[in-house]
Amino acid sequence: MPSGMSLIVKTVTRLVASFIVLFGVYVALYGHVSPGGGFAGGAIVAGGLILVMLAFGRRQTRNMFTHGMALGWDCGGALAFVAIALLGYLAGDFFLNFAGHGDPYRLASAGTIPLSNAAIAAKVGAGLFGVFLALAVFRPGQRQEGEQ
């Protein structure tokens, strides 16, 4: 039995999936200049990864996406956000926007806001994708599956 969905879905997914993930990263990184932000960008990235997984089936993507990877990015994003918050103590206060504000309307502006956006995007994207991974692996009445 061929794995995943039909050929049409697979071909279209091959064409668009990378662009969806790229758009998610763009939305997250440019959140302080244009509409978007870490939450939206993370959800879009998770949507792109879920599309790949649904189109190609669990068997083909087993080595691409693992639970450890999702959990690692999730925890890493959360820790990075807390670290940015704690780095504010360098300048004197919790969550102080210590970095220079720079030139407005540029990517490198607004101090810690783009960094926080990137951390939140990693956390939200990996978290939502990890939940879907757990849901997809889970089958009722088949407890004897492996973890991955």
Partner 1 sequence: MTIGALPYVLALVLMLIGLYVIVAKKNIIKIILGIAILEYAVNLFLLLLGYRNGGAAPIRSPEQTDNVVFAAGAVDPVPQALVLTSIVIGVGCLALMVALAIRLHEKFGTFDMTRIRELKG
Partner 2 sequence: MDPIMWLLLALLAFMIIGALIAAETEDLLSSVVCVGAVGAGLAIIDLFLGAPDLAITQVAVEVLCVVFLIRVVLTRRDETHETHKDTLAIGSVVLVLGVLLVLGGWAMTTLHPFGEPLLASADPGVAGQYLAGGLEQTGAANYVMAVLLDYRAYDTLGEATVIFVSIIGAYAILRKTGRVHHALGNEPDR
DSSP 130-143: HHHHHHHH--TT-T
| Binding status of residue 131 toward partner 1 by CB under 8 A | yes
Q: Quote the Cα angle for 107-113-118, to 5°.
A: 80
| Binding status of residue 7 toward partner 1 by CB under 8 A | no
**In the window 88-147, what residues touch partner 2 (CB under 8 A)?**
94-95, 97, 101-102, 104-105, 109-113, 116-117, 120, 123-124, 127-128, 130-132, 134-140, 142-147
Spacing of C-alpha 36 from chain mean position: 14
Interface positions with partner 1 (CB under 8 A): 34-35, 37, 39-40, 42-43, 104-105, 124, 127-128, 131, 134-135, 138, 140-141
